[in-house]
Amino acid sequence: MVEWTDQERSILNAIFSSLDYEDVGPKALSRCLIVYPWTQRYFAGFGNLYNPEAIKPNPNIANHGIKVLHGLDRAELSVLHSEKLHVDPDNFKLLSDCLTIVIATKMGNAFTGVIQAASRSSCSVLPRTFHGARTSVEKRLRSFEIMAH
């Protein structure tokens, strides 16, 4: 289990509490599907995903990107994605990398090395289980602890 410093917890809480989920979620998922096209296989029912121009404005992708971020916030993604949908856990590392890029783009120069280190350590792999978290922030931080393994 990853041990978080108070500074890392504070940074992660600040980042996620200020995220515009309706903006960041779609951008992160779209980026993942464009940069890593093999991840598209899980989205066959989402319509045309043949090129970036089709993916970026796709309302199904946008809605799912928002849902994914809220799922991270509520720590609800692991069972559905790993056990029922059999999503390759490596795809969540790719999505996490894309999420980090989108957050960095939003933050600009405020995305310092310290913030990058905290976000990179928290965005390694999507968690498979979320147990023992009490609040939304604790769930989020707990999910990042599991993601770092």
- Contact predicate 73/16, CB 8 Å: yes
What is the pLDDT, as a whole number, of residue 79?
A: 64
- C-alpha distances out from residue 137 to 9, 59, 85, Å: 9, 28, 26
What is the pLDDT, as a whole number, of residue 122?
A: 58
Look up residue 85 and give its two tokens: 């949908």
Residue 90 has pLDDT above 90, yes or no: no
Mean pLDDT along residues 102-131: 70
**Residue 68 is which amino acid?**
V
At a CB cut-off of 8 Å and minimum separation 6, what does 87 contact?
Answer: 42, 81
Dihedral (CA of 118, 14, 139, 61) sign:
negative
Element holding 68 (H helix, E strand): helix 59-74
What is the pLDDT, as a whole number, of residue 115?
A: 82
What is the pLDDT, as a whole number, of residue 143?
A: 55
Among the listed residues 32, 31, 62, the one whose alpha carbon sits nearest the alpha carbon of residue 47:
62
- C-alpha distances out from residue 133 to 74, 105, 108, 130, 141, Å: 10, 30, 31, 7, 9
Q: Quote the CATH superfamily of domain 6-134.
A: Globins (1.10.490.10)
pLDDT-based confidence at residue 78 (cuts at 50, 70, 90)? low
